[in-house]
Every structure is written in structure tokens, then in C-alpha cells.
């Protein structure tokens, strides 16, 4: 009986394997494709070499004044010299440790959140962090000297506004979303009215409203600080968007879930807290993170009502007589900082989505 040996499959021709095949198929598969590749290379050649030349090769990294920037490229000396202002604003030098401690606390909380399993402890941490941060930054209690909020600025202010905005707007947003889905007509109408009103106007008008008109709403003598007014404006603005995200999640929950919760004899709040919201929020996570990212970017608008966030600090220092003409460096720096944060957030959300994906798929 003839024995047939299994012959190994022939190796594909050189042009159809490895890097060569990849280049052939992804870059040069047709005349058009070749044209596009050339176009792409041309675009890259137009952007990257001049930028690298400006930002690295011709740039100035050492020195202390504008006069030290002798090259044609970027003057990173400016960023280096003003870094403290960009990060902490006008926060007094002697109290800077408090700002640093706050940032360290925030980072520690983020790490701790990662390793905590109990939901109540997590929520407790998320709520406690802004309170602790504000006590620490503002002072006036526990023997800490008072630091007026007008002294806060830079990245610190950007982070304070966005963290407080996210933490406060979330519960309001959840309530509004539940209100909008409610069967009670008055509650539903009020929620819809609020959400559509806020979503129909630009943030800047809401900020103007908060900074100019809000003081009129309260009895004489009650005066809010400028930062608090901005925070109120941003929180109430963002809550409407959060509400719509949560509503999207609520609508994605099958009716059977509601009915099952009812059948178990759960009351409205129990049903929502234990059955519906955990699922709805999970579905809503990508959109929620999208909203948080736009809130983070939108914090730059507080500049227009006279708060000194990171972008405003750059605007201010670029008008410094000793550093005229440093806008480009400043803007590139701010863009980079914002980009790191927002890209990080969207990257994290993608991972979270995968982690929370409990659908059993083959």
C-alpha cells in the first residue's frame, strides 16, 4: 500500500506574504491607490518636517528670558518659565503645597477607585474628593489660611471646574432623565422643558446668565463668588446633556426588565436603583464619557466670563511685555495638555466598555 506523506503547503509567492504583501494590498493595490499613497506622503511631508524642525530641532529649551530664544523655532523657555502659572494660576507661593496635595489626592483617588470593589465606597470617594479638594484649596478652616478663588487658575482651575461639574451634574442628570421617562405628566413636562431649553442654547449664554443674572435671583447680601457662579452654570448646563445620555440608556432597557422588577414587588426607587439604572448607565457609558469630554473642553469658556483657566493663563502671559509673541508656543502647549486628558478619557472609556460588556457572544 502506498503511503502518502503529507506535504507541507507551499509558501505563498514572495509578493503575497509578510510586509511586501501588506504594502502591495494596503498601499499600492491600484493606480488610484498609488496616487493616494503619494498624496498621503506629500501631506505628511508638508506637516511633519516643518513641525519637528520648529518644535524640536530649531527650538530653544534652556534659558530664563525671551532673549535666550535665539533659534528660529519654538521658545519652550516661555513654557518652562511660566509653568507654575499655567498649572496653579496665581495661587500663593507659600500655599502651593496645598494645590500639589490636592492634585496628589485626586490621582490617589483615581488609583484607589481602580482597586475598590464596593460600590458605596467608590461613590463615597467620588463625593468626598471634591469636598476635600475645595476645603484644602480654599482654606479658611482648620487653621489653613484663606486663598480667594480669584487666585485659583491654570490647569488647577480647569480640573476643579471639570471635576465638580461632572460630579454634581451626574445626579441631577439622572433625576432629569427619570423625570423625562416618568408617567407623571407634570414632572415629565418640567423635565422635558428644562432639558430642551438648556440643550437649545449655547453654553456661553448660560455662563453669562449665571454670572450676570444669578446674583439678582437671591436676596440682597447673598453674594456668590465668580467661580461658584461659573460652576452652577456649567453644572446645570451639563446636567441636561447627561440626562439625554441616561435617557438613551433607559430606552435601551427591555420592557421585561421593568416588568420583572415590578413582579418582584420592588418599589419605584428600588426598581430604578437595583435593576434599571445599573443597566442603563452601562449602556450609556460611551455617550456619558463623550459628554464628560465635551464638558472638559468647554471649561475653557470660563475665560470669557473672566476666570483664569489654563487657556486664559496662556492668553494672559502671552501678553506679558517680556514675552510678547509667545502665543504659538502657549497654544500648542495648551492643546497638548487638553489632548492628553481628552484622549486619555476616550481611551479609558473604550476599555471600560469592553470590561463591562457582559453580553455572551460566541
CA pair distance 77, 119, nearest whole angstrom? 46
DSSP code of 184? -
Judge contact between 131 and 172, C-beta under 8 A: no
Q: Which stretch binds other proteins (CB under 8 A): 26-34, 74-82, 91-99, 122-130?
A: 26-34
Closer to other proteins by Cβ: residue 131 or 335: 335
DSSP-assigned states of every residue in 77-141: HHHHHHHHHHHHBT--GGGHHHHHHHHHHHHHHHHHHHH---HHHHHHHHHHHHHHHHHHHH-SS
Indicate whether 48 belongs to the interface with other proteins (CB under 8 A).
Answer: no
Nearer to other proteins, 79 or 137 (CB): 79
How far apart CA 138 and CA 260 sit, in angstroms, is 48
Instruction: Identify the residue among 20, 45, 110, 213 touching other proteins (CB under 8 A).
Output: 213
Phi–psi pair at 152, nearest 5 degrees:
-75, 150
CB of 215 to other proteins, least distance (A): 8
Using the rule CB under 8 A, give the single segment among 9-17, 72-80, 129-137, 211-219 that binds other proteins: 211-219
**At its nearest, how many Å lie between other proteins and the CB of residue 25?**
8
By rule CB under 8 A, what string of x and - marks binding of each residue 218-257 to other proteins? xxx-------------------------------------
CB of 36 or CB of 97, closer to other proteins: 36
Q: Quick one: which of 166, 238, 334, 349 contacts other proteins (CB under 8 A)?
A: 334
Residues of this chain, 261-300, that bind other proteins according to CB under 8 A: 293, 297-298, 300
**Among 264, 339, 350, 353, interactor with other proteins by CB under 8 A:** 339
Number of residues that bind other proteins (CB under 8 A): 56
Which region among 96-104, 232-240, 278-286, 329-337 touches other proteins (by CB under 8 A)? 329-337
* Window contacting other proteins (CB under 8 A); options: 130-138, 192-200, 229-237, 244-252: 192-200
Residues in 306-325 that interact with other proteins by CB under 8 A: 311, 315, 318
Say whether residue 18 binds other proteins (CB under 8 A).
no
Query: Residue 212's CB: how many other CB atoms inside 10 A?
Result: 11
Q: b or e along 265-297 (b: 16 or more beta carbons within 10 Å of the residue's beta carbon)?
A: ebeeeebbeebbbebbbbbbbebbbbbbbebbe
200 binds other proteins (CB under 8 A): yes
Q: Which is nearer to other proteins, 57 or 201 (CB)?
A: 201
Which string of DSSP letters, residue by residue, matches 236-281? HHHHHHHHHHHHHHHHHS-HHHHHHHHHTT--HHHIIIIIIHHHHH
Residue of the chain from 54, 208, 224, 258 that contacts other proteins (CB under 8 A): 208
The string of DSSP codes covering 2-61 is --PPPPPPPPPPGGGSHHHHHHHHHTSSSHHHHHHHHHHHHHHHHHHHHHHIIIIIS-B-
Burial (CB < 10 A; 0-12, 13-18, 19+), residue 169, is: buried
Q: How far is the CB of 117 from other proteins (least distance, A)?
A: 31
- The separation between CA 95 and the C-alpha centre of its own chain, rounded to angstroms, equals 27
Among 20, 274, 304, 324, binds other proteins (CB under 8 A): 304
- Quick one: which of 96, 113, 131, 197 contacts other proteins (CB under 8 A)? 197
Tell me the window of 91-99, 133-141, 186-194, 351-359 that interacts with other proteins (CB under 8 A): 186-194
Q: Which residues pair with 309 in a beta bridge?
A: 154
| d(C-alpha 125, C-alpha 188), whole Å | 32
Place of cell 423625562: 180
Contact residues toward other proteins (CB under 8 A) are 26-27, 29, 33, 36-37, 39-41, 43-44, 183-187, 190, 196-197, 199-205, 208-209, 212-213, 215-220, 293, 297-298, 300-301, 303-304, 311, 315, 318, 327-328, 331, 334-335, 338-339, 342-343, 346
Amino acid at each position: 500500500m502506498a503511503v502518502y506523506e503529507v506535504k507541507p503547503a507551499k509558501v505563498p509567492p514572495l509578493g503575497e506574504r509578510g510586509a511586501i504583501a501588506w504594502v502591495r494590498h494596503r498601499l499600492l493595490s491600484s493606480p488610484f491607490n498609488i496616487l493616494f499613497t503619494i498624496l498621503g506622503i506629500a501631506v505628511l511631508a508638508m506637516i511633519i518636517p516643518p513641525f519637528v524642525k520648529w518644535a524640536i530641532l530649531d527650538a530653544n529649551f534652556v534659558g530664563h528670558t525671551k532673549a535666550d530664544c535665539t533659534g528660529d523655532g519654538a521658545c519652550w523657555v516661555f513654557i518652562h518659565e511660566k509653568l507654575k502659572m499655567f498649572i496653579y494660576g496665581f495661587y500663593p507661593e507659600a500655599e502651593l503645597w496645598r494645590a500639589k496635595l490636592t492634585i496628589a489626592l485626586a490621582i490617589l483617588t483615581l488609583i484607589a477607585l481602580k482597586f475598590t470593589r464596593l460600590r458605596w465606597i467608590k461613590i463615597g470617594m467620588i463625593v468626598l474628593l471634591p469636598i476635600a479638594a475645595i476645603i484644602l484649596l480654599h482654606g479658611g478652616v482648620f487653621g489653613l489660611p484663606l486663598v480667594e478663588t480669584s487666585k485659583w487658575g491654570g490647569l488647577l482651575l480647569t480640573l476643579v471646574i471639570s471635576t465638580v461639574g461632572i460630579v454634581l451634574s451626574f445626579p441631577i442628570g439622572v433625576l432629569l432623565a427619570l423625570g423625562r421617562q416618568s408617567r407623571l405628566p407634570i414632572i415629565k413636562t418640567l423635565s422635558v422643558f428644562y432639558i430642551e431649553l438648556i440643550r437649545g442654547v449655547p453654553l456661553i449664554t448660560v455662563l453669562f446668565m449665571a454670572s450676570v443674572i444669578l446674583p439678582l435671583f437671591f436676596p440682597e447680601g447673598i453674594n456668590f463668588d465668580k467661580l461658584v457662579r461659573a460652576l452652577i452654570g456649567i453644572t446645570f448646563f451639563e446636567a441636561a446633556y447627561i440626562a439625554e445620555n441616561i435617557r438613551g440608556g433607559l430606552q435601551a432597557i427591555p420592557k421585561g426588565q421593568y416588568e420583572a422588577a415590578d413582579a418582584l414587588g420592588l418599589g419605584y426607587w428600588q426598581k430604578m436603583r437595583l435593576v434599571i439604572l445599573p443597566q442603563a448607565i452601562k449602556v450609556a457609558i460611551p455617550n456619558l464619557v463623550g459628554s464628560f469630554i465635551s464638558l472638559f473642553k468647554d471649561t475653557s469658556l470660563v475665560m470669557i466670563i473672566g476666570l483664569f483657566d489654563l487657556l486664559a493663563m496662556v492668553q494672559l502671559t502671552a501678553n506679558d511685555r517680556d514675552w510678547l509673541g509667545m502665543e504659538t508656543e502657549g497654544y500648542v502647549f495648551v492643546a497638548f495638555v487638553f489632548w492628553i486628558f481628552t484622549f486619555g478619557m476616550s481611551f479609558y472609556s473604550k476599555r471600560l466598555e469592553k470590561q463591562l460588556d457582559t453580553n455572551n457572544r460566541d
